[in-house]
């Protein structure tokens, strides 16, 4: 039996791709995608006002050379997008519009997860969408315990902690470290802690590990609620024929050492500020 088959017996496997053929090949339960809004902004009509505003800013405030003006424009564009992301009402309005468009095509909101960033504002938008509108949300760009606890207390449907991105940060900050054992991989450690916290304190929010760099990370999280995996790594898992021990379980989570965290905006921002890795990745 392949590792992929073993994994499916204890974890819901999701394909991290928009490739329909790959989805058919590996028969995952669901699929996720990650479009780049910043890249799309340069060519999509709905983002032209932000692009034009960034260009005007660069013309007025930029340096003397074309390169400096372009740099100013790009920086300003990222800030403008960030400001849009921080608008709770705007996020809610857009989510409702997307759900309406799906329903007009005959697709129920029960089949859709609206993806939002795990900023404080994004989490509050998700809370309102879940509570008032019955719209399920997937909170992404999640790198810390503060974000995970805030999402759980907001009762969002699902979170996507980024295993590989956490590993990338630690490797970049510690050049002398070339690799980690899978169970000690910082991204794996983070997701394991979040999973254990959720199960220990009875949170219903689902944990979906994401952004994997190798199959070792995946195997070390066997038993997690969901794992979203690229076609390349799905193929490696399918080609590997060996047993796979369960690493995470609700029963084992009860013995974790974490204490309950009472979350509010002040605690959230303080914890995120104290977490150098999450502060750099999430903000």
178 is catalytic: no
In degrees and rounded to multiples of 5, residue 31 shows phi and psi of: -140, 150
The answer to whether 218 and 237 have CB atoms below 8 angstroms apart is yes
User: Both tokens of residue 121?
Assistant: 């504002």
Would strands 158-161 and 30-32 be described as parallel, antiparallel, or unpaired? Answer: unpaired
From 76, 109, 115, 247, the catalytic residue: 115
| Tokens 């496997």 sit on residue | 13
> Which H, E and C letters describe the chain, residue by residue?
CEHHHHHHCCCEEEEECCCHHHHHHHCCCEEECCCCHHHHHCCCHHHHHHHHHHHHHHHHHCCCCHHHHHHHHHHHHHHHHHHHHCCHHHHHHHHHHHHHHHHHCCCCHHHCCEEEECCHHHHHHHHHHHHHHCCCEEEEEECCHHHHHHHHHCCCCEEEEEHHHHHHHHHHHCCCCCCCCHHHCHHHHHHHHHHHHHHHCCCCCEEEEECCCCHHHHHCCCCCCEEEECHHHHHHHHHCECCCCCCCCHHHHCCCCCCCCCCCHHHHHHHHHHCHHHHHHHC
Supply the residues annotated as catalytic: 115
């Amino acid at each position: 039996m392949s590792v992929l088959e073993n994994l499916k017996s204890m974890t819901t496997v999701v394909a991290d791709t928009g490739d329909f053929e790959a989805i058919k090949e590996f028969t995952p339960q669901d699929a996720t995608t990650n479009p780049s809004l910043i890249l799309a902004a340069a060519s999509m009509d709905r983002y032209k006002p932000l692009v034009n505003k960034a260009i005007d800013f660069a013309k007025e405030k930029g340096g003397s050379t074309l390169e400096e003006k372009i740099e100013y424009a790009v920086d300003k564009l990222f800030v403008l997008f960030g400001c849009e992301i921080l608008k709770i009402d705007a996020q809610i309005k857009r989510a409702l519009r997307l759900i309406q468009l799906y329903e007009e095509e005959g697709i129920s909101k029960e089949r859709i997860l609206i993806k939002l960033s795990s900023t404080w504002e994004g989490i509050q938008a998700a809370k309102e969408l879940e509570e008032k509108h019955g719209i399920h949300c997937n909170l992404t760009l999640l790198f810390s315990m503060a974000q995970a606890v805030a999402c759980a207390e907001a009762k969002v449907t699902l979170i996507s902690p980024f295993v590989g991105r956490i590993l990338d940060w630690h490797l970049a900050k510690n050049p002398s470290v070339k690799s980690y054992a899978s169970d000690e991989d910082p991204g794996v450690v983070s997701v394991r802690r979040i999973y254990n916290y959720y199960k220990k304190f009875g949170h219903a929010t689902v944990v979906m590990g994401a952004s994997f760099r190798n199959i070792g990370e995946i195997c070390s999280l066997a038993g997690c609620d969901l794992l979203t995996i690229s076609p390349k790594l799905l193929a490696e898992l399918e080609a590997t024929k060996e047993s796979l021990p369960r690493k995470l379980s609700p029963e084992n989570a009860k013995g974790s050492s974490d204490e309950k965290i009472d979350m509010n905006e002040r605690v959230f921002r303080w914890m995120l500020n104290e977490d150098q890795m999450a502060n750099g990745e999430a903000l």
